[in-house]
Amino acid sequence: MGNIRRRQKKQRQAGRRLADAAWDAEGRESLAKAEELLRAALRGREGDCVLWNDLGLILCRRHMLREAEKAFRTALLLRPDHEDARINLSGLLEARGFYRQAAKVLEEIPPSSPRAAFFHRKADALRHQAELRSQDAEDASRESEEDGIPPEGSGAGPS
Q: Final residue of a domain: which of 49, 79, 109?
A: 79
Q: SS3 for the chain, per residue?
A: CHHHHHHHHHHHHHHHHHHHHHHHHHHCCCHHHHHHHHHHHHCCCCCCHHHHHHHHHHHHHCCCHHHHHHHHHHHHHHCCCCHHHHHHHHHHHHHCCCHHHHHHHHHCCCCCCCCHHHHHHHHHHHHHHHHHHHHHHHHHHHHHHHCCCCCCCCCCCCC
Do 111 and 48 fall into the same domain? no
The reply to whether the predicted model has a pTM over 0.75 is yes
Do 45 and 104 fall into the same domain? no
Do 73 and 135 fall into the same domain? no
Do 61 and 4 fall into the same domain? yes
Q: Over its length of 159 residues, how does the chain's per-residue pLDDT go in tens digits?
A: 568 777 777 777 777 788 777 877 777 888 999 999 999 999 988 999 999 999 999 999 999 999 999 999 999 999 999 999 999 999 999 999 999 999 999 999 999 999 999 999 999 999 999 999 888 777 777 776 766 665 555 444 443
Domain span holding position 108? 97-149
Do 50 and 124 fall into the same domain? no
Do 134 and 69 fall into the same domain? no
Among candidates 14, 70, 5, 59, which has minimal Cα distance to 41? 14
**pLDDT for the residue 138:** 76
**pLDDT for the residue 1:** 52
Do 63 and 134 fall into the same domain? no
* CATH number for the domain that contains residue 53: 1.25.40.10
156 occurs within a structural domain: no
**pLDDT for the residue 11:** 75
**pLDDT for the residue 151:** 55
Provide the number of structural domains found in the chain: 2
Do 110 and 37 fall into the same domain? no
Cα separation, 157 vs 74, whole angstroms:
45
Do 12 and 71 fall into the same domain? yes
Do 118 and 71 fall into the same domain? no
155 occurs within a structural domain: no
